[in-house]
């Protein structure tokens, strides 16, 4: 990724597009904030569009499901630390 795209993503959360030569496809990444319905912890959910289907779930530390999917995307989560 170019430095201009990196900067836009870090500052504004703007979607970034990049080329994956092995897959010969374009992959999109995005992120958003989410709150656990059970305990209230805040999470940054990262989503990457991929070329194959994936079925999985992400769990909060309390055990509640943050997100489940069955599509050509992969999700990951980072806990948002409160100041």
How far, in Å, CA of 46 to CA of 42, rounded? 13
Specify whether the CB–CB gap between 13 and 36 falls below 8 A.
Answer: no
Segment among 1-15, 45-59, 63-77 with least mean pLDDT: 1-15
pLDDT at residue number 6: 52
pLDDT at 62 over 80: yes
pLDDT at 64 over 80: yes
The rounded mean pLDDT for the chain is 76
How many domains does the chain fold into?
1
| Pairing label, strands 65-79, 25-35 | unpaired
| Of 53, 41, 28, nearest in space to 77 by CA | 41
Phi, psi of 3 (to 5 degrees): -65, -30
Structural domain including 60 reads 3-79
pLDDT at 57 over 50: yes
**9-43 pLDDT tens trace:** 555 444 444 444 444 454 567 888 999 999 999 99
Q: Indicate the helix (H) or strand (E) that contains 10.
A: helix 3-12
How far, in Å, CA of 12 to CA of 21, rounded? 27
């Amino acid at each position: 990724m170019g430095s201009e795209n990196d900067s836009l993503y870090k500052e504004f959360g703007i979607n970034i597009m990049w080329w994956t030569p092995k897959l010969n496809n374009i992959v999109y990444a995005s992120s958003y904030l989410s709150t656990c319905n059970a305990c209230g912890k805040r999470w940054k959910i990262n989503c990457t569009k991929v070329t194959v289907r994936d079925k999985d779930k992400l769990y909060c530390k309390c055990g509640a499901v943050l997100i489940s999917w069955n599509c050509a995307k992969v999700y990951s989560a980072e806990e948002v630390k409160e100041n």
